[in-house]
A and B are shown apart, each in its own frame.
Chain A
Amino acid sequence: MPDVEEIKQRIEAAIPGARVEVEDWTGGGDHFKATVTAAAFAGRSRIEQHRLVYDVFGAEIGGPIHALSLKTQSPQ
């Protein structure tokens, strides 16, 4: 079962330079909320930005990670 720290580290490892904040939304260990700030998002649509993050977890989304709510942005 992934935890907050693992999710944060995996996103940071997959998207170089990303600043990631993750919280366990419900306290149940399967609904997470992540805010990801990365230069890699610049020039990409929201859909593409979220796909970059979802792709880190593949089939785990909807499985052990029941939900991963995302907010993505490029650095100001």
Chain B
Amino acid sequence: MPETEQSTEIRDAIAQAISEHETILFMKGTPEAPACGFSARTVAALQSLQAPFAAVDVLPDPRIREELSAISRWPTIPQLFVKGELVGGCDIVMEMYESGELAQTLGVEDDAIEPVDEAEALAPGLTQIENRLG
């Protein structure tokens, strides 16, 4: 199959996945085994809100990331989409988590959230995760 046709196919599959899942996260690795600290933090935020979400690992084929970024006009991974719209990457998702906006966007209760000092509590964790990978 010609390369451009394959790219179109991947792009269509991504667009379809975004439209079919109310909440979908494109990440490095899987929710059970995130392969990057930023993806890990985003998954942790979603899980602590007990928000159901679909996840797509972009690592198996570099074209997934290329086509996704072309669609979303967003250069980094992870990318969270809710109801077909890009909500943000790790930074925005964490900001929204802290402020309670994420629970609102996802349509879940945020009573269970324990306040987390994000910068202090999570940055060292990120370093640990990346060190393990490196």
Contact = CB atoms under 8 A, between A and B. Distances in A.
A52 to B, nearest CB: 12
Contact of B91 (A26, A50, A59): A50
Interface string A4-36: 000000000000000000000110000000000
B86 A71 contact: no
Interface in A27-58: 46-47, 50-51, 54, 58
Contacts of A71: 91, 95
B88 A47 contact: yes
B52 interface: no
Interface of B: 38, 73-76, 86-92, 95, 123, 127, 130
A71 B88 CA distance: 12
Given A25-B123, A26-B130, A69 B73 contact: no
A2 interface: no
Interface of A: 25-26, 46-47, 50-51, 54, 58-59, 61-62, 67-71
15 contacts: A26-B130, A47-B88, A47-B92, A50-B89, A50-B91, A54-B75, A58-B75, A61-B75, A61-B76, A62-B75, A68-B76, A69-B90, A69-B91, A70-B91, A71-B91
B59 to A, nearest CB: 13
Please name the 5 residue pairs, one residue from A and one from B, whose CB atoms are nearest each other, closest first: A61-B75, A46-B92, A54-B75, A70-B91, A69-B91
Contacts of A58: 75
A31 B130 CA distance: 11
